[in-house]
Amino acid sequence: MTTTTAAPFDVETVRKDFPILSRLVHGDKPLVYLDNAATSQKPRQVIDALVEYYEKHNANVHRGIHTLAEEATALYEGARDKMAKFIGAPSRDEVIFTKNTSEAINLVARVLGDAGPGYRVGPGDEIVITEMEHHSNIVPWHQLAERTGATVKWLRLTDEGRLDLSTLDSVVTERTKIVSMTHVSNLLGTINPVDVVVKRAREVGALVLVDASQSAPHLPFDVSALGADFVAVTCHKMLGPTGIGVLWARLPLLQELPPFLGGGEMIELVTMEKSTFAPPPHKFEAGTPPIAEAVGLGAAVDYLTAVGMDAIAAHEHELTRYVIERFAEVEGLRVIGPNTAENRVAEVSFALEGIHPHDVGQILDEQGIAVRVGHHCARPAVVRYGIPATTRASFYLYNTHAEVDALIAGLDRVKRVFT
C-alpha cells in the first residue's frame, strides 16, 4: 500500500516548471520577476494544457453531440469542478466563469440595480467600499450609484495601512445594501479581517462581496469560511491564462438575481415574445465562454493543489519577512502599508526618498528586475498616503531570497544614479 504525501516545498524544483524564469533580459541579465500582483507567470503544465486542448479537443461546448464537443465540454465543466473545490464552494453551480474580477464585480453591480425588491439597490440605499480598493471595485459602484440614486460610502485607512474599523458601525448601517471589499490590498499587501465586516453586515442585513484577486492565489482559501455572499477571483494571477475569472455566489442569490448579459448559452427557451433563462451557473454565462482558458485554469488549480497552498503561503510569508527586514536597511525607503510580515502578503509597496517610482522602475528593469510603478489602479489609497505613486515588488511561489537580495542591490544602484 502506498500513501501519497506532497513532496516538501522546494523553490528550485518549482522554478524549473516555469520556462519564462530562465530567460534573460537586456542582453545578459537573468529575469527577476517581481510583478506577480499584476500577473503571474505560467508553469509548463498550464502552457501544455492550452496546447493540448487546441491540438486535440477544440470544439464549442454544451451543444455539440460529436466527440470533440463532448471532450471540450467535459474539460470546461471539469475546470468548474476543480475551481469549486479549490475555493471551497459548496456547489459547482455557484461557480460562474467571467472574463476577470472586473467583469465579476460589474456583473454583481449591474444585477443588483436590476434586481427585484428584495435585493434591488435604489435611491437612499448605501453601498460601502474601502479606501484601499482597486478601481475595479470602485468604478462599478460609482456607476451603480449614478444609475440608481444610491450613495457610495467609504471605510477609511489607518496610517499603517490597515482598515480603520473604528467607524464600521457608523458607516455600515441599516441603509447599507452591500459592502464590497478587497480581501488583500493590491497596493498595500494588507490582509483584511473580512469576518469582522461580515459580522456587521449580517447585523444590518447587507450583502458582502469580497474581491479575492490578491488572496486566492497566495493563501489557503475557502469561500464558506470567509462568510461572504459574493467572491470575485481573476485567474491569470494564480498561474492561469488571462481572460478568465470567477464569480462565486450563494446559490439562492444566483437563482433569484436577474441575468447580466443576454445571449447564447444562458437561455432556457426563446420565443418571438420573450426569453426565459437557464439555471445558474449558465444563466450568467452568455455566449461562447473562455473554453481554452478554463482548461488552462484547471491545470493551474491542479498545479497549485499539488504544490500545496499551505506550503505556498508559508514560503511567501518567509519572503515577506525577509524583504521587510532587508528594506529596513535601505536608507530613505518607506514602506507604504504594514511594515511587518504579519497579516500581510508578499506584495510590498514603497517610496524611495527623492526618487520618482518611474525612475526606480526603469533602472531596476535595466538590471533585469521587473517591478510595478504607479498608482496600481488604487489611486484613492495612494493619495491617502500623500504620494503620487509607489514602486511595488510582489512575490509568488517561485521567487527566492536571492531575488530579494537582487532587488536590494538594484535599489542601491538606483540611489547611486540619482544622488
- Active-site residues, by number, are 377
In the complex, the smallest distance separating the C-beta of residue 356 from another protein, rounded to whole angstroms, is 4
Q: Which of 356, 385, 400, 405 binds another protein (CB under 8 A)?
A: 356
Judge contact between 278 and 266, C-beta under 8 A.
yes
Q: Is 406 in the site for another protein (CB under 8 A)?
A: no
Question: How many other C-beta atoms are found inside a 10 Å radius of the C-beta of residue 318?
Answer: 13
Burial class, 197, CB count within 10 angstroms (exposed 0-12 / middle 13-18 / buried 19+): buried
Separation of first and last alpha carbons in the chain: 65
In the complex, the smallest distance separating the C-beta of residue 135 from another protein, rounded to whole angstroms, is 12
* Segment lying near another protein (by CB under 8 A), choices 87-95, 123-131, 197-205, 366-374: 366-374
Residue for cell digits 441599516? 174
Cell numbers given for 104: 465579476
Residue for cell digits 529575469? 31
Q: Which residues of 341-359 are buried (b: 16+ CB within 10 A; e: fewer)?
A: beebbbbbbbbbeebebee
* Segment lying near another protein (by CB under 8 A), choices 139-147, 148-156, 160-168, 352-360: 352-360
Q: Is 388 in the site for another protein (CB under 8 A)?
A: yes
Q: Is 85 in the site for another protein (CB under 8 A)?
A: no
In the complex, the smallest distance separating the C-beta of residue 213 from another protein, rounded to whole angstroms, is 20
Cell numbers given for 360: 526606480
Q: Is 175 in the site for another protein (CB under 8 A)?
A: no
Q: Which of 363, 369, 381, 411 binds another protein (CB under 8 A)?
A: 363
The nearer residue to another protein, 128 or 355, going by C-beta atoms, is 355
Q: Which of 31, 70, 375, 400 binds another protein (CB under 8 A)?
A: 375
Determine phi and psi for 61, rounding to 5 degrees: -95, 160
Type of residue numbered 276: T
In the complex, the smallest distance separating the C-beta of residue 355 from another protein, rounded to whole angstroms, is 8
Site map 7..36 versus another protein, x via CB under 8 A? -------------------xx---------
Residue for cell digits 474581491? 211
Q: Is 351 in the site for another protein (CB under 8 A)?
A: no
The closest alpha carbon to 210, from 156, 246, 169, 258, belongs to 246
Cell numbers given for 185: 490590498
Q: How many residues does the chain have?
A: 419
* Segment lying near another protein (by CB under 8 A), choices 15-23, 142-150, 268-276, 368-376: 368-376
Q: Is 359 in the site for another protein (CB under 8 A)?
A: yes
The nearer residue to another protein, 187 or 389, going by C-beta atoms, is 389
Cα–Cα distance between 190 and 345 in angstroms, integer? 7
- For another protein (CB under 8 A), the number of binding residues is 17
In the complex, the smallest distance separating the C-beta of residue 387 from another protein, rounded to whole angstroms, is 9
Q: Is 385 in the site for another protein (CB under 8 A)?
A: no
Residue for cell digits 470533440? 68
In the complex, the residues that contact another protein under the rule CB under 8 A are: 26-27, 356-359, 362-363, 366, 373-375, 382, 388-389, 417-418
